[in-house]
Structure 1
Amino acid sequence: MGMTHREYLWGDRIYGCSKCHTHLAAIESMVSRAFTGQHGRAYLFDKVVNVITGGPAERTMTTGLHTVRDIYCCKCGTTLGWKYDRAYETSQRYKEGKFILERNLLVDVEI
């Protein structure tokens, strides 16, 4: 097993893993701040890097049934949130392919 290649982001504000500061997302890819995760506030992003996805699971959330995959930091393995694979409610389909990152598990990274 070799070293994992990590992508570094540029932008006005970069969010990273709270444990190892690996770059995860730029503020420019944030879709919404109006989400709730397992540990409180969460953000919805179009693009997230340096994560590993788990297997698919169906979960009933406040907005209905979704197929999601937990996402983990590729460096330290911390669970950071999840990726939406499928939304069963038509009004929630905009989430498909997007990522939830939990605010309590993020830090602002200096570039």
Structure 2
Amino acid sequence: SMGGRAALRAAAAPEVRGVVALAPWCPEGEPVAHLRDKDVVVLHGDHDRVTDPHASAAFVRRARESGARAAMRTVPGGDHAMLRHAGHWHRTAAAAVTALLTPGRTTE
């Protein structure tokens, strides 16, 4: 939630090429312009009741419109604690990080 939001904000640093945010808190109006030309992956459980997966999806759409290479991965049945379906969370997060670190691979 706040860690995901902090990671998305930290992507403003010029040396950051990409970010993976887990179940971030993305309130309406959260800035996205700093993500232009960066890779962004948001993972969110579709049963999260702490932060809103629909708000994350809206954030990803706005980031794309600002020029980010942004994608959202949904964890079916996943909740905010990331304990339910933990293996799926870990595999999805690892795949997203691998894609960010592999030259020529895309997050889309």
> Which structure's residues are more often strand, by fraction?
1
Q: Which TM-score applies when normalising by structure 1? A: 0.23
Structure of higher RCO (CA pairs closer than 8 Å, 6+ residues apart): 1
Q: Which TM-score applies when normalising by structure 2? A: 0.24
Q: Which has the larger radius of gyration?
A: 1
